[in-house]
């Protein structure tokens, strides 16, 4: 499986899966202001979109991992795709009844299916080849994710915003989500018919047989690091449209900013593919990314000056938010290999715990929404700082800790 020809088909499937992840995840950046307008919501209420979607990662990841031990990784991919097909189809009755709770239910079901796919895909791409180049493979599939993320808000806005206006017509989601539901179901059928290798997690780490996962500090701290990472990442993407709208831009004009952020992520992934391990190790790239992220998130709060977009003077802090996309591409790829290495047969359960940490995508936007409603949109970005401070700790120190206590 470590030979290039033996991992080609799995990597193609994984690339497609990560494209789907991006398609259904990053479209939330346009759904949030879209539902905010359609249902007359405040910021906190609108960020329930992200909460409903990602809280499924916390609730369903462990059950999903147990199911995977029964049905295997390939059938787990199929189950996840079909679950997402059900969730996307729920948008049809939700639109016809104009029910925000039913939309949120659909998002939770999509998140449930996606959490299963993430539980399969992330360790799969990590251990399918040499661990030393895992960050490079993650960067490759990450490119697929971010390409979909760039396209999703732009295409979705073009479909649902009639006549180039910012009108929120709920009936407009029926067609795109019906098509997406059908695609997810058919792709699941295709995966079921493929011959994909089952990954082997290998033997337990020497001398660690029977150790519970919590006794691996580098893993526990890695879970927290992933939570901090996705928390700051989702804030930098899902809030940027509302922030731009506060400066006078319409939804139609502001839709470009999540795509710019994800475009910066593409550059980051290309940098990872080119540099790792030829010019820098994945640890070194992680350190560069987290330090740069702290600098940019600080500038979001304090940088003066404006630039012009569609005739509106907007803060330079928007560009700092966009720039975080470059850092985030390298952070995600760096954390996974450091957190799950040498866990042997515990890798599937460890992956499920890592996927649970993705609930940070749902919790942090709610916190940001509360701060935005009470302090203002720009001061709310203070939530970025503690995330990057912890990530710096993990990149320089936390990943080295093999045992609790003195080392």
Question: Consecutive sets of 10 residues in the chain, 407 residues long: mean pLDDT of each?
Answer: 61 86 85 91 92 90 82 87 95 95 96 86 73 72 81 82 64 91 93 76 50 90 95 92 92 89 86 82 90 97 92 93 92 85 78 85 92 94 97 95 77
Its domain, for residue 233, covers: 4-201+213-400
Is there a cis peptide before residue 86, judged by omega within 30 degrees of 0? no
Each residue's pLDDT tens digit, 289-301? 999 999 999 999 9
How does 180-216 read in b/e, with b if 16+ C-beta sit within 10 Å? bbebbbebbeebeeeeeeebebeeebeeeeeeeeeeb
Q: Given this model, what pLDDT does residue 245 score?
A: 92
Structural domain includes residue 39? yes
Q: How far is CA 359 from the centre of its chain?
A: 10
Return the structure tokens found at 172: 């407009």
Return the structure tokens found at 175: 């067609």
Structural domain includes residue 406? no
Structural domain includes residue 208? no
Measured between alpha carbons, how far is 16 from 183 in angstroms, rounded to an integer? 12
Return the structure tokens found at 74: 């390939």
Q: Given this model, what pLDDT does residue 203 score?
A: 46
Q: Across-strand partners of 308? A: 313
Each residue's pLDDT tens digit, 259-269? 899 889 888 88
- For residue 98, the SS3 value is coil
Q: What is the pTM of this model?
A: 0.80
Q: What is the tally of helices (H) and strands (E) in the chain?
A: 17, 2
* Backbone φ and ψ of 90, nearest 5°: -65, -20
- For residue 249, the SS3 value is coil
Least Cα distance to 77 among 21, 128, 32, 31 occurs for: 21
Each residue's pLDDT tens digit, 167-193? 678 888 899 899 999 999 999 999 898
- For residue 307, the SS3 value is strand
Structural domain includes residue 126? yes
Q: Burial-class residue 260 by CB neighbours within 10 Å (0-12, 13-18, 19+).
A: middle
Measured between alpha carbons, how far is 356 from 272 in angstroms, rounded to an integer? 25
How many domains, in total, are found in the chain? 1
| Cβ atoms < 10 Å from Cβ of 164 | 10
| Cβ atoms < 10 Å from Cβ of 313 | 11
CATH code, 240: 1.20.1250.20
């Amino acid at each position: 499986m470590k030979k290039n020809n033996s991992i080609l088909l799995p990597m193609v499937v994984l690339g497609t899966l990560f494209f789907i992840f991006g398609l259904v995840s990053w479209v939330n950046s346009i759904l949030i202001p879209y539902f905010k307008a359609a249902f007359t919501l405040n910021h906190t209420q609108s960020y329930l979109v992200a909460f409903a979607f990602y809280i499924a990662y916390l609730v369903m990841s462990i059950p999903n991992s147990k199911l995977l031990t029964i049905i295997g990784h390939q059938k787990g991919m199929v189950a996840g795709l079909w679950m997402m097909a059900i969730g996307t189809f729920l948008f049809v009755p939700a639109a016809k009844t104009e029910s925000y709770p039913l939309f949120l239910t659909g998002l939770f079901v999509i998140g449930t299916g996606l959490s299963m796919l993430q539980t399969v895909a992330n360790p799969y791409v990590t251990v399918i080849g040499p661990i030393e180049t895992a960050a490079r493979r993650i960067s490759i599939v990450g490119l697929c994710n971010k390409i979909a993320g760039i396209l999703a808000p732009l295409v979705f806005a073009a479909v649902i915003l009639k006549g180039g206006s910012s009108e929120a017509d709920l009936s407009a989601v029926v067609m795109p989500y019906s098509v997406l539901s059908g695609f997810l179901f058919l792709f699941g059928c295709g995966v079921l018919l493929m011959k994909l290798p089952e990954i082997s997690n290998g033997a337990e780490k020497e001398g660690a047989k029977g150790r519970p996962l919590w006794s691996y500090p580098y893993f526990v701290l890695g879970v927290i690091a992933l939570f901090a990472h996705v928390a700051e990442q989702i804030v930098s993407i899902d809030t940027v449209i509302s922030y731009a709208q506060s400066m006078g831009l319409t939804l139609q004009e502001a839709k470009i900013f999540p795509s710019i952020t994800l475009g910066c992520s593409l550059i980051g992934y290309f940098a990872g593919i080119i540099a790792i391990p030829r010019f820098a190790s994945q640890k070194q790239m992680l350190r560069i990314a987290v330090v740069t992220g702290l600098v940019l998130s600080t500038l979001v709060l304090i940088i003066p000056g404006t630039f012009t977009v569609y005739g509106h003077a907007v803060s330079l802090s928007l560009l700092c938010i966009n720039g975080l996309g470059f850092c985030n591409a390298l952070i995600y790829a760096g954390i996974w290999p450091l957190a799950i290495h040498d866990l042997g047969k515990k890798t599937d359960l460890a992956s499920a715990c890592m996927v649970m940490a993705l609930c940070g995508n749902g919790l942090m936007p709610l916190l940001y929404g509360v701060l935005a409603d009470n302090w203002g949109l720009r001061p709310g970005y203070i939530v970025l700082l503690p995330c990057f401070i912890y990530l710096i700790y993990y990149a320089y120190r936390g990943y080295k800790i093999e045992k609790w206590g003195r080392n």
